[in-house]
């Protein structure tokens, strides 16, 4: 699943995000969602989230 739709993302799920400083390289960071920061139901670059470790980025992949 991709991370463009807010309905697919809930607190506590494992995701891969791209941090702001890694947007050019596309380096992904894995973590667990703490907060959803994007208010809209869809975002073409991915829903912005805060991970439990405090890092903020856009969801590129939802892990099972």
pTM beyond 0.85: the answer is yes
**pLDDT classification of 33: cutoffs 50, 70, 90:** very high
User: Which SS3 state, helix, strand or coil, does residue 7 take?
Assistant: helix
Distances (CA, A) of 21 to 7, 28, 64: 26, 11, 26
User: Is the pLDDT reported for residue 52 higher than 90?
Assistant: yes
Residues comprising the chain, all counted: 64
Residue 39 neighbours by CB under 8 Å, 6+ apart? none
User: Is the pLDDT reported for residue 46 higher than 90?
Assistant: yes
- CATH architecture designation of domain 6-62: Roll (2.30)
User: Which SS3 state, helix, strand or coil, does residue 9 take?
Assistant: coil
pLDDT of residue 28: 97
Q: Tell me how far apart the alpha carbons of residues 23 and 12 are, in angstroms, rounded to a whole number.
A: 24
């Amino acid at each position: 699943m991709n991370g463009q739709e807010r309905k697919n993302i809930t607190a506590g799920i494992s995701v891969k995000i791209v941090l702001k400083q890694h947007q050019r390289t596309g380096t992904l960071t894995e973590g667990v969602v703490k907060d959803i920061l994007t208010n809209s139901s869809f975002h073409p670059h991915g829903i912005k989230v805060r991970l439990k470790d405090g890092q903020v980025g856009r969801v590129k992949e939802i892990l099972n």
